[in-house]
Amino acid sequence: MPRLIANGIEIEVESFGRSDDPAVLLIMGLGMQMLAWPDALCHSLAKSGYRVIRFDNRDVGLSQRMSDSARVNLPLAAMRYLMHLPVAAPYTLETMAEDAVGVLDALGIERAHLVGASLGGMVAQSAAARHPDRVLSLASIMSSSGDRRLPTAQLKILRLMLSRPKHGSDLEAWIRHYVRVFQAIGSPGFPTPPELLETRVRSFVERSHYPAGTLRQILAIIASGDRSAQLGRITAATLVLHGKADPLVPVAHGVDCARKIPGARLELVAGMGHDLAPGLLPMLQAQLLEHFART
């Protein structure tokens, strides 16, 4: 499928299934390309009677890079956030929500089931709140409302996430770094085999590697702040799915989301961390299909 124009920018999109089946729009998380939605899950949902669409968010993968934006100063942004001061950013989560709705527009899709993971869950929440007429249902996976009172990630995880290989390092150094990150935040009850994890990471990095875009997405999260009031405006049937062993976005965030989204159904998964490990896919597929069928 050729790159689409959505919300005024170029977005790389891939579709599975029949064009006249109910649509499922998959929105991936921080710095992650659409390939992070496992092929097996996409094909299984398509075989179950859904048109499955995944795409690269702005600043990630093969979608448009916001390279004309000013350099990101995360320490300054974090300080302003902690002081309850406004944080300037090239774009926000709401901008990314408009990108997602723009993908539906470009494909001529009136309504879709929105499924978002991590940052993608925040984007899906915003899209559901801003465009209720475009949403068949919402599934928010390992995501957050941005409430300042919620627990933060484990310190060792934050340090690893914000660390970088030495300046000028080759792609092999970056691959090793990302493997360490994914091992640290992954699901202890559903560990991904090391060789499979390295293969997946290598495929991501060789397809596209753009750390600057990830920094701008972090800034979008910080600038968007507490979105609790927005969650209260969501009217779509909502599934909140969260791992009990998530070290990056602690399980309290999922509980909080379910409490703030009217009528949301909460599913907590023992042994699940902050990933879509192969061992989790049967559960995830079953939960999503049941959720879609409810609407």
* Half-sphere exposure at residue 38, Cβ-oriented, CA atoms within 13 angstroms: 18
Length of the chain: 295
Determine the Cα–Cα distance for residues 112 and 143; give it in Å rounded to an integer: 19
| pTM more than 0.85 | yes
Residue 24: predicted pLDDT: 98
Residue 111 token pair: 């309504």
Determine the Cα–Cα distance for residues 76 and 103; give it in Å rounded to an integer: 33
The answer to whether residues 291 and 137 touch, using CB atoms and an 8 Å cutoff, is yes
**What does R_g of the chain's alpha carbons equal in angstroms?**
18
List strand residue ranges (DSSP E) for the chain, in order: 4-6, 9-11, 13-16, 23-27, 51-55, 112-117, 135-141, 238-243, 265-269
Q: Following CA atoms 177, 182, 183, 184 in sequence, which dihedral angle do they give, to the nearest 10 degrees?
A: 90
Would you give the DSSP letter of residue 6? E
User: What's 169's domain CATH number?
Assistant: 3.40.50.1820
Determine the Cα–Cα distance for residues 109 and 239; give it in Å rounded to an integer: 22
Residue 16: predicted pLDDT: 98
- Residue ranges of alpha helices (H) inside 10-109 are 39-47, 74-82, 93-107
The ranges of the chain with pLDDT < 70 are none
* Farthest CA pair distance, the chain: 51
Measuring CA to CA, which residue among 282, 221, 158, 208 is closest to residue 36?
208
User: Across the strands, what pairs with 242?
Assistant: 268
Angle between helices 119-130 and 93-107 (to 10 degrees): 70
Question: Which amino acid is it at 220?
Answer: A
User: Across the strands, what pairs with 141?
Assistant: 117, 241
Mean pLDDT of the chain: 96
DSSP, collapsed to helix, strand or coil, labels residue 160 as helix
Domain containing 279 equals 4-294
Measuring CA to CA, which residue among 19, 36, 52, 64 is closest to residue 216?
64
User: Across the strands, what pairs with 268?
Assistant: 242
Number of structural domains (the chain) is 1
User: Across the strands, what pairs with 14?
Assistant: 54
Residue 11: predicted pLDDT: 98
DSSP, collapsed to helix, strand or coil, labels residue 27 as strand
Residue 149: predicted pLDDT: 95
